[in-house]
A and B are shown apart, each in its own frame.
Chain A
């Protein structure tokens, strides 16, 4: 094993299609016009010495090391900033160049410490490499003069020297090692788009400065790691590298956080993870990362991880550690007993959007083939189930239409109910890059998110609608497009059903759907809405990106349909730069949906009542399958409360914290007789569990994740599971204990079974993925290379279907008792229920959930910034601290749900999407009042959680 090689071409690739031929050091090379001489050389295998150039950022030309000579031209131009031209004859090594380079290096080294042997970058230092490359043998200048290397030996203060900044939990900034190449500054600007860094001062005083000479933590830095990756020296270094040393091998794998699905190199020393470095060839992230994927993997070795299976009779008992065999046997006998006693449908399973496709497939197979019912659901129920329904109805597939590269071709981007800079940061950075190039942005969100306005980007229109009125706003946008004749008639006639369009057009054209008419409940200024509609319809390639702010409503499915209508009406489907793009919350939400995690669908979105599909699986599995849709999560909980549902197998999912109306979830779980939780930690759901099966992390198993762009990415095992088994092995053992004849020896065999049974995965195999890097489904005979863009020549369902979208106000209404609307979201540094990120250093950025409230509403209630407040709804109440901000409109409050102590879902109600039961997290009528401490429920809950997490030692249990 060795490190995965990555070539640094020095400058970004040129997209030109015109080719140019030139000669470099006697070798002829043909490259696209606009390529730098440096890059062309590298492509010809000739490495020009360089320091300030790296291919993640544009050429800068400051280090003067990459100079070349060109026949017929004067001087020694920098190869990074000089583009190729036909017929050039370039020399990269001449005696003149050698002298210049040696002189430049000597000056660099004269102001750089010579502690190479003890330096953290030893073995991975470009400065050291270049000193070697130019043959530097001595430095004539000495260290007596001006330098910024050390604090002076003679006791004097060296005002040029600055101490190390260790404020960021993951990397250090050591100014004494800085050569001021500006790579970090440019990476922060060009790649991440945060502009948190600058070079302060000039000449000898030049230093990299986060913010206004602040430390990294208090600056605008979002800790994405791009600067650390760009740094050619040890100036910016991962603390893990300082602690452990350089990695000796690396493995390409996929991040297990959000639905962007970034590819990383896990750089290892033996089985120890040294660092995660974004992989340049990763097609979702193109070499970029965020603070979570890059740094927040420490949870995998956190001391709270449970490594042994545990059992208890009652949830009030302490846990008892048992052997795996005991645990499997116990679960098998309990589930068999429950089914015998209460009927076949009294048990079910919940698949995880965090586990691999293979693991998800096995859980639904266990339920369908082992339990003999269709009681399987997944957490997509509470996030993107409306996407599946809405896009399935209108286009014919339950997935986004584009790849992430598509955004590079967009002219107008609409963001609805999504916060990409926090929730999907790497996509957020790619979007911001496109916006800085001139694309226009329309944001439809109750809250002024960072994408609305942050350095160098600003939305053309922000429509701050009242939570719960998405459908009205989307229909009003369509009203403007239809009544002003801005729709794309040719596209609609060719690709959609014209009579359905006419019906829909007549519906949206109704005066009741005009921006002026809907203003009274949406709160959106009609003139802004009209301008936004015109911009989207007439501004070129229009792309719509949306998140849970669309789906988690009582009309979530309707909004998805309205989005699809809008894209079809404006002809924005079927080519790069356009499309409808759901931003998936979790790493494998797309995959878990694809794998048949829903109670009514077998893998590949085929209904359980479809005889042919059932037949395929019945033949493969050798059992008879039920043709009746099973229970959804909320139905399982209802049935549990009613006493007809008694056993649940939950893999990698914390429904108690993530699902709405916590008290109802708790009551449902408490009414069951055997709750099996498989997770890394004793999560909140485990408080009500009878069996705990330790889970494994994404670093400990092979598999695949499918990201928001339908891309199937490989997850590769880099270390032995600390708990002993990958999750797929545990499910298999459980199935075997229940008498099923499963014999998978590797997850690749599970993928082979998926490919054999599911047409959209027909050509997928591990060998094929290894060869291709990744593929986007559908990947079959018709599209062997996968499908970056869908619906190119026609919709999957045939003709695109326009569907009327009547706005129906949610039943969750404000009134005198609950006058404010609560909406929820997430923050950059934390992820979902926080089970992983709360167990990393990421807590320095977000140690608690806060309630954002407008200054006007706060003043009315006598609330000051940082005060404890009581947040109450019809469902329950909780307490947290207030954050006063005008990001939210008056009448709207906002919080995150990353911390279990906050219990934000005690507040949310059990209203849900009419089509899919996706809960209405995004709208809850609440009241906010001053408070002086945790609510009664929080204290009860804490006590219950504390009690239920007790573990007795193995020996004790044996007595």
Chain B
């Protein structure tokens, strides 16, 4: 994990990303995407650098980062499992599925397993209502999840 990265290093790497993308129209979101790709999360120390370079206030950048759940404020586990918690999935047994997953992983939503393998997150609609309940593991979507399917998914994630 990169929790203790030295600040100058963060600043330098952030600056490189900002400089590469700041010519875009509306560069803040692409920059934050790239930051997350670089560090696996959006370190707090990046924000003042981005603000300075784009001539925004720190508050504005903070407002954008915190608005989007997908910009992480802390590093995630090696795998990220997102369970759809929206209406269609809930009506197809999503609640029970969520309890099952929590039990299997031994964690609640927004938590990471002790071994750093899996982070569990709720997501509000993956757009897979027709195959509800559904989930996404590291960007790959899975539908029609029953007990077996979810157990397999979880064990895949734990590896």
Contacts and interface: CB of A to CB of B under 8 A. Distances in A.
Contact of B56 (A201, A209, A456): A456
Contact of A209 (B44, B51, B63): B63
Contacts of B131: none
Interface in B56-76: 56-63, 66-67, 69
A454 to B, nearest CB: 8
B57 A213 contact: no
B2 interface: no
Nearest to B124: A203
B130 interface: no
Interface in A158-213: 194-202, 209-213
Contact of B58 (A199, A220, A453, A457): A220
Contacts of B47: 212
A841 B52 CA distance: 29
Contact of A194 (B44, B57, B67): B57
Contact of B63 (A198, A456, A458): A198
A455 B60 contact: yes
Q: Most A CB atoms within 10 A — which of B44, B48, B57, B69?
A: B57
Interface string A440-479: 0000000000000111111000000000000000000000
- Measured as residues with beta carbon below 8 angstroms from the partner, the interface class of chain A is 20 to 34
Interface string B124-159: 000000000000000000000000000000000000
A453 B48 CA distance: 15
A200 B47 CA distance: 14
Given A200-B66, A201-B66, A211 B59 contact: yes
A889 B56 CA distance: 24
A199 B55 contact: no
B67 A196 contact: no
A219 interface: yes
Contacts of A199: 63
A202 B59 contact: no
Contacts of B48: 212
A198 B59 contact: yes
A453 B55 contact: yes
Given A212-B44, A212-B47, A455 B55 contact: yes
Contacts of B60: 195, 198, 455
Contacts of B44: 212
A195 B59 contact: yes
A181 to B, nearest CB: 15
B120 to A, nearest CB: 18
Contacts of B67: 200-202
B145 to A, nearest CB: 26
B62 A213 contact: yes
A200 B60 CA distance: 9
A951 to B, nearest CB: 48
Contact of B57 (A200, A202, A220, A458): A220
A209 B55 contact: no
A468 to B, nearest CB: 31
Nearest to B63: A198
Contacts of A457: 55
B55 A220 contact: no
Q: Most B CB atoms within 10 A — which of A197, A454, A455, A457?
A: A455
B73 to A, nearest CB: 10
B59 A210 contact: yes
Contacts of B55: 453-458
Contacts of A456: 55-56
A195 B59 CA distance: 7
Contacts of A210: 59
Q: Most A CB atoms within 10 A — which of B48, B55, B58, B69?
A: B58
A209 B62 CA distance: 9
Contacts of B63: 198-200, 209
B22 to A, nearest CB: 13
A457 B56 CA distance: 9
Given A201-B67, A202-B67, A211 B62 contact: yes
A212 B48 CA distance: 9
A195 B57 CA distance: 6
B56 A196 contact: no
Contact of A219 (B59, B61, B66, B69): B59
Contacts of B62: 198, 200, 209, 211-213
A201 B48 CA distance: 18
A219 B60 CA distance: 12
A195 B66 contact: no
Nearest to B44: A212
Contacts of B56: 195, 455-456
B86 to A, nearest CB: 14
Interface in B17-57: 44, 47-48, 51, 55-57
B110 to A, nearest CB: 11
A317 B30 CA distance: 72
Nearest to B56: A455
A174 B8 CA distance: 35
Interface in A10-53: none
A201 B66 CA distance: 5
B137 to A, nearest CB: 25
B104 to A, nearest CB: 25
B58 A211 contact: yes
Contacts of A213: 62, 66
A500 B62 CA distance: 58
A220 B59 contact: yes
Contacts of A202: 66-67, 69
Q: Most B CB atoms within 10 A — which of A201, A211, A212?
A: A212
Contacts of A212: 44, 47-48, 58-59, 61-62
A212 B51 CA distance: 11
A457 to B, nearest CB: 8
Contacts of A196: 57, 59
A605 to B, nearest CB: 44
Interface in A477-502: none
Nearest to A458: B55
A91 B44 CA distance: 49
A213 B66 CA distance: 10
A881 B59 CA distance: 30
A196 to B, nearest CB: 6
A456 to B, nearest CB: 6
Nearest to B68: A202
A213 B48 CA distance: 13
A195 B60 CA distance: 7
Contacts of A198: 57, 59-60, 62-63
A156 to B, nearest CB: 15
| Shortest beta-carbon contacts, A-B, top 6 | A198-B63, A195-B57, A198-B59, A212-B62, A200-B66, A455-B57
Given A199-B63, A200-B67, A212-B62, 11 more contacts: A195-B57, A195-B60, A196-B57, A198-B57, A202-B66, A209-B59, A210-B59, A219-B58, A219-B59, A453-B55, A456-B56
23 contacts: A195-B59, A196-B57, A197-B59, A198-B63, A199-B63, A200-B66, A201-B67, A202-B66, A202-B69, A209-B59, A211-B57, A212-B44, A212-B47, A212-B48, A212-B61, A212-B62, A220-B58, A220-B59, A455-B51, A455-B55, A455-B57, A456-B56, A457-B55
Interface of B: 44, 47-48, 51, 55-63, 66-67, 69
